A and B are shown apart, each in its own frame.
Chain A
């Protein structure tokens, strides 16, 4: 009975009022505070990283200046967007899970598996150009969904924690891919060292937005982020998903089947994950093989955290990561190890998580206090016992 309310609130006995103050502003203002605190956290991370650079005898100011100088050149900007593309997809995949308290750590395995299947199936059919690309994207999503579906079935049917299942399935995916690739899908007609699956026909090549610099997958990624916003934040399905994440017991009590939500959320998450490697498969290598990047699944977790699972936040965070990756190279010219970029990225995630948590608590207290004040101000004197 101690747990009445954890936050000081109005204890009102006064009478009916329902509209006062300007509550509509409350939301946009909170959004503004969140944005400001995230930017502050990024700046704080840069300061901390700067101190680290200084301690190792490098000049942080010069390094940062060089990063900004080169980073805002148009080819570097395009490279940043290109690098942001898979991160957006990966982060959306992770965020769908996060929104209902499911941690899909298996995006990594899901996208690699999907990349192989999509490349193999894509090379085996012939279709007119736009259809061919669309077909491969659908196959990739189905393959990603399938791989995530294994974890979903384990969770729903056997109660296996999805964190364990998805992490382990990453390793399983790597082995399965290796086996499938070596036994069946390796293109043995080529004898060079750069082994890959059969090259996709031209009709399956994703056109570039900027030749050789930015793939049209960037547009696909933006569309997926937009779809994420609509589905998760605006639709009935999304309402149920978020309700399950916010209070699973209340959601279940309200008639929302938790098993069905878990299953659907993981499947959708896996489907989006399936697209992560498509910029490489469709736009660059035109096959599956060396050059399909790894680690994007884990990077997506950081980007989703950084963007607070919010669509705009995810785009911004992916761009920031893309920018940092694109400028990593120039640091070496400054005799600064480019791995400092990884350090900066990690520190950014930490500072953003810490700052956001602190700010959220502060805002919650403030909201509670303001609500209480608003009620007292609107209650006739003496009505509050």
Chain B
């Protein structure tokens, strides 16, 4: 190895990874120099986590090579990666609450003497590591008493204790408040000065620009470009992240109607002890109108849908569907008032995976008189209805009696879209309606949404696909930190503008 090779901590070359039905990563190439903070930015679903799981040995790549400190590696499990000096700090902490900090750090790698735990040895080593990395935390405090920022420090110490010199931090700032973010960044700087290498995954562009030495952008499963923070600004980076291509403007024959289908007034949802999840959200969706919600995931979109559906208790404000105030109504009453929902996570919120398709299309519609024969389910009618959905939405399946898990993700999604549109809703909440589906299915779902819109349907479209938002929406609202922070006309909006607002930029001129 030449000296330059030794400067490279991690080199990924041509990494590809497929999951059944999806290509998560392809042609990923990445070079991380030793002693630097290297940020990886990309939208949710762009393939960042898959890539990091590959590097951490959680699964094996289908193509490409991983080189760590000049040696080509084939990690079979995370323990191989740990042995090579790679450590991962997960977004969700993996700590035992009722153990002390010390116990948590040594858990799984306990130093023993003749089978007896030697905490003294451990304490000494941890203190050394903590001092070297400038990480201070009371080793004897039970983890249950620690704040989020301190827990994260424990996670970092845990990784360092196992000898990691290359640290992967998966969205480390997602759970932190601004002061904690500053402390984290100080720790990271300290670690890098001490010779460690940090791979920092994020979609918060300001933070990335502030802390990293180099930035690699991932889009649609592949690395797009690597830039230096001084060469880009937030807008430029946002554009790289979401892709600059604009969709061809989608023509529409109909006009936005006058009738109000969904009206939210000062909707607020508090989380105990935290900041507001939804903060004074007010907007209206009219007949034959698609209102898009742009926003980085986790800024209140999910809770917005839950609040409209009556699945989460709201603190204040009102929800009106059509001319009914449903603020106090049950979910079923709201659905009967005409709200339908294409969920964020089809497996969690939408489908019974082991049940047959016709039972899945019946779910939530079993109140409909046509599916009832007295108190019993009219199975024949439910089968017929499911077959109709399968045909109309081009669901690729041998029949309506196969279990839902046997379908590919795209076909499950088409089935769900079909089910929700078959309710003849007044207002459809569509969360990522085309996420994870192939291009053909995407076009089909878009066409169905447009058709329904032209026929009078009001749609609240939540999407991370900015092209989809701009192409379909009649109006785009930006959500940031639980608030609607901007209203844009899609005819004038660009992904670049959206990117700015979505990452916290303010709207100057309406």
Counting residue pairs across A and B whose Cβ atoms lie within 8 Å, the total is 169
Cβ of B364 and Cβ of A3 under 8 Å apart?
Answer: no
Binds B, one of A203-211, A234-242, A313-321, A337-345: A234-242
Report if B370 contacts A (CB, 8 A). Answer: no
Cβ of A4 and Cβ of B409 under 8 Å apart?
Answer: yes
Cβ of A235 and Cβ of B375 under 8 Å apart?
Answer: yes
Q: Which residues of chain A have C-beta atoms less than 8 A from B353's C-beta? A: 246-247
Complex CA gap A251/B362 in Å reads: 11
Q: Which residues of chain A have C-beta atoms less than 8 A from B349's C-beta? A: 249-250, 253
Q: Which residues of chain B have C-beta atoms less than 8 A from A375's C-beta? A: 396-398
Can you list 18 residue pairs at the A/B interface with Cβ under 8 Å? A2-B53, A7-B406, A9-B21, A9-B408, A10-B396, A10-B407, A16-B394, A18-B400, A26-B402, A235-B376, A235-B377, A239-B362, A242-B355, A246-B352, A249-B348, A252-B311, A364-B405, A374-B398
Q: Which residues of chain A have C-beta atoms less than 8 A from B400's C-beta? A: 18, 23
Q: How far is the CB of B441 from chain A (nearest CB, A)?
A: 8
Cβ of B397 and Cβ of A371 under 8 Å apart?
Answer: yes
Complex CA gap A374/B409 in Å reads: 17
Report if A14 contacts B (CB, 8 A). Answer: yes
Complex CA gap A144/B410 in Å reads: 47
Cβ of B391 and Cβ of A16 under 8 Å apart?
Answer: yes
Report if A57 contacts B (CB, 8 A). Answer: no
Interface centre among A18, A237, A374 (most CB of B within 10 A): A18
Binds B, one of A39-47, A183-191, A254-262, A293-301: A254-262
The 0/1 profile, CB within 8 Å of A marked 1, for residues 39-70 of chain B is: 00000110101100100000000000000000
Complex CA gap A380/B348 in Å reads: 33
Which residue in chain B gives the minimum CB-CB distance to A26? B401
The 0/1 profile, CB within 8 Å of A marked 1, for residues 341-359 of chain B is: 1010001111111110001
Q: How far is the CB of B126 from chain A (nearest CB, A)?
A: 32
What 11 new A-B contacts, CB under 8 Å, besides A12-B396, A236-B372, A247-B348? A1-B44, A2-B53, A9-B21, A9-B408, A20-B399, A23-B398, A234-B376, A239-B362, A253-B341, A364-B354, A372-B406
Report if A24 contacts B (CB, 8 A). Answer: yes
Cβ of A239 and Cβ of B331 under 8 Å apart?
Answer: no
Which residue in chain A gives the minimum CB-CB distance to B44? A1
Cβ of B364 and Cβ of A255 under 8 Å apart?
Answer: yes
Report if B20 contacts A (CB, 8 A). Answer: yes
Sorting the interface of chain B by its residue count into under 10, 10 to 19, 20 to 34 or 35 or more gives 35 or more
Q: Known: A15-B394, A18-B391, A367-B406. Contact between A4 and B22, CB under 8 A?
A: yes
Complex CA gap A3/B408 in Å reads: 12
Report if A55 contacts B (CB, 8 A). Answer: no
Q: Which A positions have Cβ atoms within 8 angstroms of B?
A: 1-21, 23-24, 26-27, 230, 234-237, 239-240, 242-243, 246-247, 249-257, 364, 367-368, 371-372, 374-375, 378
Q: Which residues of chain B have C-beta atoms less than 8 A from A254's C-beta? A: 331, 335, 363-364
Q: Which residues of chain B have C-beta atoms less than 8 A from A251's C-beta? A: 363
Q: Which of A7, A24, A27 contacts B20 (CB 8 A)?
A: A7
The 0/1 profile, CB within 8 Å of A marked 1, for residues 62-87 of chain B is: 00000000000000000000000000
Report if B411 contacts A (CB, 8 A). Answer: yes
Q: Which residues of chain B have C-beta atoms less than 8 A from A246's C-beta? A: 352-355
Q: Known: A13-B440, A250-B349. Contact between A5 and B363, CB under 8 A?
A: no
Q: Which 7 A-B pairs have the closest CB atoms?
A: A254-B364, A23-B399, A255-B332, A371-B406, A12-B396, A246-B352, A11-B21
Q: Which residues of chain A have C-beta atoms less than 8 A from B330's C-beta? A: 255, 257
Q: How far is the CB of B241 from chain A (nearest CB, A)?
A: 16
Complex CA gap A27/B359 in Å reads: 14
Complex CA gap A257/B310 in Å reads: 11
Cβ of A250 and Cβ of B332 under 8 Å apart?
Answer: no
Q: Which residues of chain A have C-beta atoms less than 8 A from B233's C-beta? A: none
Complex CA gap A160/B490 in Å reads: 50
Q: Which residues of chain A have C-beta atoms less than 8 A from B438's C-beta? A: 11, 13
Which residue in chain A gives the minimum CB-CB distance to B46? A1
Cβ of B366 and Cβ of A236 under 8 Å apart?
Answer: yes
Which residue in chain A gives the minimum CB-CB distance to B343? A253
